[in-house]
A and B are shown apart, each in its own frame.
Chain A
């Protein structure tokens, strides 16, 4: 698998994502600066966590207007795989690739801790290595992870099996406990929790590996 990790000014999980893709998914990873108008020929585009542009204005809002994002929108529409984690998920909603928005946590405080997630959709390139209905433990680290969408959109997400992960306990006030969603075609996943942070035992757990092993199987 060839993967590109997009680096925005203020990204800070770009290296973590690249390491997980290399070590677990055995991907050939290149870092792509946000100012590039064209994407290299890759199987996976990863939008990493962080505080792109300081999260000023709205989280992910300014990054969503970066030159490279036009190319990401196009690639997603063509069926290329796109993974957005945390700030990356916020960018995906800001571009409209995924529906909804991420609001300030209901508790108002930044929250960093391991949380239990229920795997809702154990299929596809991202989730194929997880067990449907199973619980995995993945850390969150965000101030704005409170997922919002109108009722119609939420019903649609449920009906089409597009909710990938739900929080198994209250974390940030997300609508229907949504932690991660996919697009209709299944080639785009956005999630607030950080699977790249729990991929080896020394980090305190390995539940994040499944996402990367699934990608390796699906994308070679």
Chain B
């Protein structure tokens, strides 16, 4: 390897306060093929850079291209396919492309939401990785003018018995809580899976939902030649340099040595930043605003200028720095947290400065909007970067990577269950896939803001739109094992399950965000999984009228060539126009009739029962009939809206009997059911719900039994609710405190 004086891997260079010396250093570094490779750029990509500039880039420019063209920022492997997702609808105010998606909920109100991954940093340093993941997604939402009102998350860990899992779960949960609790945004739910495929690559996907008045939405397109560019928030340090490129590379054995690049979050500053930004947003001083996320000052300035079709000039001497002797390269690539970039109307700087100083935050005018369509940086009185914006943004590399479909799986057939259904029920309720996640969500403040009216543990969380009768329902869903067995069906199912979870509380599904977590896209079978999942999702989003309005792609989730299960995590939002017309999963009254709405279960292939009881992950996943999902969803929502049913629960992982048991635990009331086969009890056929209603209410479904007693009785056998509760409650705390 050729040693460059300022290459990121050898940053231990002598530093002096003198900008001239630093300037000289950054010009002196020779751009070698090794340095180019170290920046994650292929020789072909470097060739494009040479053409775009008409000269050799300097180190700062190389660094800027490197982060902007990383998979994380450029979506170069995925863009082509993401275009197939439906993104529009009468409810959509803003689809993908901005910091987050925006959906109309009537009366001048809108919700802004997005989900984002922070997988690689969380594996290396679980607490800070997860915490800064929450911080980043919060900024994406309040950047657009919204007050964040709910956080959610979708977490995937390795085998519970793997030596690292406990440490990772503990750190990630503490990090999510540590950040969210401090900023005072309730973490209202999420999902957590365990599977050996995540042993070397955990997934930490965080989602934020905010509310905004439709006349107070802010976008990122810079405008107004000469308008001041403002830096606010924390100071810039050397943390996280090359985080975006780290998120775009496969792990190897020595990845853990990358620890110093993980950023540290400061939720207190974030809280101040939220309040200060919202205070300034109440005026009309802001032209455009963008948070500094991955690739920090680089991506924020490039995106703002590129979107506005203008240029931008920054004077790096004015950037508030936390450390001494920072070079332009370091300032542009730093991923220090809790920072924002804004374009203000001319003459409004003092007004803005007063607000940020009141909240004890840094505020600096660091540049201006230009008409050059170039990113120009000066430092020490000289120009240290001059790049046309086109190649950085819209014209970034785009790849149509080879992809092969996943071969179809044959149904397994011939299953001969060995135990009774009630015995297997206890096993399932206490198994890693289905045991209670209470240990996790009790570490999250899920009630702050006092508008949480559907707490964690149900189908969807519900948060009131403050001061109205409206509420937002939120869910995160994905069954990665289905996606692995059949990406297209798995993609459909993830959307369908989100649809059912929103429906089951009475909400009308509105729109979706996605976090596409996959392995190495340069392998055709992995790219095939990606393309397949997109195909299934696109179909389901269209059929169920749940357009994708925002999202994020995380590729290269592999360690030593072993990839994760394809995991297109879905975050979906629904609307309750009147939250009095809602329901939850808890049994309410003894004597209520328990109904299965939808067909009796038949499909045990890929079920949790097959996996956890029989130890097999075989066969195809259950097929999704989107027309049936729609019809069933409309029917259930009607029942809830008319107040005809007393509880509802979607049937997904574990099947109908597991759904009944979850309803029994939530209401602390048992059930007496007619006899069931294993397929009827644990089959994971789609488009189905369990509902309860008083005797005499006509429900189009199969009568399964009645609510009551202290056990779950199925035909002649029964199991005590207390035994189910113990198994369900204790599994996670037991492994975490072992």
Give the interface of A toward B (CB within 8 A).
9-13, 15-16, 19-20, 49-51, 53-56, 109-113, 139, 141, 143, 194, 196-197, 199, 202-204
Give the shortest distance, in Å, between B699 (CB) and chain A (any CB).
Answer: 26
Which residues of chain A are near B1, meaning CB under 8 Å?
none
On whether the beta carbons of A16 and B448 are closer than 8 Å, the reply is yes
- How far, in whole Å, are A54 and B117 apart by their CA atoms in the complex? 25
Q: Which among A10, A20, A110, A202 is the interface contact of B177 at CB below 8 angstroms? A: A110
Q: Tell me the total A-B contact number using a CB cutoff of 8 A.
A: 85
Q: Is the CB of A9 within 8 A of B360?
A: yes
Residue of A nearest to B438 (CB): A113
Q: Which residues of A contact B360 (CB under 8 A)?
A: 9
Asked if B261 lies at the interface with its beta carbon under 8 angstroms from chain A, I say no
Complex Cα–Cα for A109 and B267 (A):
18
Contact B268 A53 (CB under 8 A): yes
Q: Does B266 contact A (CB under 8 A)?
A: yes
CB atoms of B453 and A12 under 8 A apart: no
* Across-interface contacts of A109 in B (CB, < 8 A): 174, 442-443
Q: Does B455 make an interface contact (CB < 8 A)?
A: yes
User: A12, A16, A194, A204: which contacts B271 (Cβ < 8 A)?
Assistant: A12
**Bound complex: CA of A54 vs CA of B135, how far in Å?**
14
Instruction: Write the chain B residue with the least CB distance to A11.
Output: B184
Besides A51-B181, A51-B268, 20 other A-B contacts (C-beta < 8 A):
A9-B268, A10-B268, A10-B272, A12-B183, A12-B184, A13-B184, A16-B450, A19-B450, A49-B448, A54-B182, A55-B182, A56-B268, A109-B442, A110-B177, A110-B178, A111-B443, A112-B444, A141-B181, A197-B450, A204-B455
Instruction: Say yes or no: is B625 at the interface (Cβ < 8 Å to chain A).
Output: no
Contact call A196/B268, Cβ cutoff below 8 A: no
Residues of A within 8 A of B359 (CB): 9
Within 8 A of A (CB), among B502-550: none
Which one, A11, A56, A204, contacts B453 given CB within 8 A? A204
> Residues of A contacting B272 with CB < 8 Å?
9-10
Task: List 28 A–B pairs whose Cβ atoms lie within 8 Å, in order of A's numbering.
Answer: A10-B268, A10-B271, A12-B182, A12-B448, A15-B449, A16-B449, A20-B450, A49-B448, A51-B181, A51-B182, A51-B184, A54-B182, A54-B266, A54-B269, A55-B182, A55-B268, A109-B174, A110-B174, A110-B177, A110-B178, A110-B443, A111-B442, A112-B441, A112-B442, A113-B442, A141-B447, A143-B181, A199-B450
What 10 A-B pairs have minimum CB-CB distances, sorted nearest first?
A12-B184, A54-B268, A16-B450, A51-B182, A141-B445, A202-B453, A112-B445, A110-B443, A197-B447, A110-B177
Task: Determine the distance from Cα of A109 to Cα of B174 in the docked complex, in whole angstroms.
Answer: 8
Is B464 an interface position by the 8 A CB rule? yes
Q: How far is the CB of A109 from chain B (nearest CB, A)?
A: 5
Partner of A51, one of B267, B452, B455: B267
Contact B444 A51 (CB under 8 A): no
**Interface code B178-193, partner A: CB below 8 Å = 1, 0 otherwise?**
1001111000000000
Contact of B450 among A50, A113, A196 (CB under 8 A): A196
Are B448 and A13 interface neighbours, CB within 8 A? yes
Q: In the complex, what residues of A have CB within 8 A of residue B452's CB?
A: 203
How many residues of chain B have a CB within 8 Å of chain A?
30
Is there contact, CB below 8 Å, between A10 and B446? no
Interface centre among B268, B271, B450, B452 (most CB of A within 10 A): B450
Q: Which residues of B contact A204 (CB under 8 A)?
A: 453, 455
Residues of A within 8 A of B579 (CB): 202
Measured between C-beta atoms, what is the minimum distance from A204 to chain B in Å? 7
A49 to chain B, nearest CB (A): 8
Q: Which residue of A lies closest to B439 (CB)?
A: A109
Closest A residue to B360 by CB, please name it. A9
In whole angstroms, how far apart are the Cα atoms of A117 and B360 in the complex?
39
Q: Which residue of B is nearest A56, CB measured?
A: B268
Which residues from chain B contact A110 at a C-beta distance below 8 Å?
174, 177-178, 181, 443-445
**B646 CB → nearest A CB, Å:** 16
Nearest residue, chain A, Cβ from B456: A112
- Shortest beta-carbon distance from A173 to chain B in Å: 16
Closest to B441 in A: A112
- Smallest Cβ distance from B657 to chain A, in angstroms? 27
Identify the B interface with A (CB < 8 A): 174, 177-178, 181-184, 266-269, 271-272, 359-360, 441-450, 452-453, 455, 464, 579
Q: How far is the CA of A151 from the CA of B727 in the complex (A)?
A: 40
Bound together, the chains give a CA A163 to CA B492 distance in angstroms of: 57
- Chain B nearest Cβ from A213, distance in angstroms: 17
Known contacts A109-B443, A110-B181, A202-B464, A54 near B267 by CB under 8 Å: yes
Q: Are B266 and A50 in contact (CB under 8 A)?
A: no
CA distance A141 to B184 in the complex (A): 11
A14 to B268, CA, bound (A): 15
Q: Which residues of A contact B448 (CB under 8 A)?
A: 12-13, 16, 49, 141, 197
A112 touches B446 (CB 8 A): yes
Query: A202: which B residues are within 8 A, CB to CB?
Result: 453, 464, 579
> Which residues of chain A are within 8 angstroms of B444 by Cβ–Cβ distance?
110, 112
Q: How far is the CB of A102 from chain B (nearest CB, A)?
A: 16
Residues of A contacting B449 with CB < 8 Å? 12, 15-16
User: A50 CA to B274 CA in the complex, in Å?
Assistant: 15
Q: Which residues of A contact B266 (CB under 8 A)?
A: 54
Contacts of B442 in A (CB 8 A): 109, 111-113
Instruction: Point out the residues of chain A lying under 8 angstroms from B174, CB to CB.
Output: 109-110
Question: Which chain A residue shows the least CB distance to B446?
Answer: A112
Task: Give the residues in chain A near B267, CB-CB below 8 Å.
Answer: 51, 54
Bound together, the chains give a CA A111 to CA B441 distance in angstroms of 9
Q: Give B578 Cβ to nearest chain A Cβ, in Å.
A: 12
CA distance A49 to B178 in the complex (A): 15
- Report A-chain residues with C-beta under 8 Å of the C-beta of B182: 10, 12, 51, 54-55
Q: Are A139 and B268 in contact (CB-based, < 8 A)?
A: no
Query: Chain B nearest CB: distance from A3 CB in Å?
Result: 17
Asked whether, in the complex, the Cβ of A203 is within 8 Å of the Cβ of B446, the reply is no
Residues of chain A with a CB closer than 8 A to B447's CB: 112, 139, 141, 194, 197, 203
A54 to B184, CA, bound (A): 11
A4 CB, min distance to chain B CBs, angstroms = 19
| A49 CA to B445 CA, complexed, in Å | 12
Give every chain A residue within 8 A of B183 (Cβ-Cβ): 12
Q: What CA separation (Å) do A165 and B293 show in the bound complex?
A: 45
Cβ B268 vs Cβ A203 within 8 A? no
* B-side contacts of A139, CB under 8 Å: 447
CB-defined contacts of A143 to chain B, threshold 8 Å: 181
Distance in Å: Cβ of A149 to nearest Cβ of chain B: 26
Note all chain B residues with C-beta closer than 8 A to A10: 182, 268, 271-272
Residue of B nearest to A16 (CB): B450
A55 CB to closest chain B CB (Å) equals 7
CA distance A10 to B453 in the complex (A): 24
- Known A-B contacts A10-B272, A16-B450, A202-B464; the reply to A50 vs B184 at CB < 8 A is yes
Chain B min CB distance to A168 (Å): 17
Contact check, B443 vs A51: say whether CB atoms are below 8 A apart: no
Q: Kindly state the separation between the CA atoms of A109 and B177 in the bound complex, as whole angstroms.
A: 10
Distance from B172 Cβ to chain A, minimum over Cβ atoms (Å): 13
> How far, in angstroms, from A145 to B76 measured CA to CA in the complex?
49
Instruction: Give, as a whole number of angstroms, the nearest-CB distance from A220 to chain B.
Output: 25
Bound: A73/B75 CA distance, A: 57
Q: Which residues of A contact B453 (CB under 8 A)?
A: 202-204
Closest beta carbon of chain A to B482's beta carbon, Å: 32
Task: List, in ascending order, chain B residues with CB within 8 A of A16's CB.
Answer: 448-450
User: Within the assembled complex, what's the spacing in Å between the Cα atoms of A109 and B173?
Assistant: 10
Chain B residues positioned under 8 Å from A15 (CB to CB) = 449-450
Docked complex Cα distance between A15 and B360 (Å): 21
Point out the residues of chain B lying under 8 angstroms from A53, CB to CB: 268
**In whole angstroms, what is the CA distance A50 to B455 when docked?**
20
Q: Specify which chain B residues have a CB less than 8 angstroms from the CB of A56 in the assembled complex.
A: 268
| Chain A residues within 8 Å of B177, by CB | 110
Residues of A within 8 A of B184 (CB): 11-13, 50-51
Q: How far is the CB of A10 from chain B (nearest CB, A)?
A: 5
Tell me the nearest residue of chain B to A19, going by C-beta: B450
A139: min CB distance to chain B, Å: 6
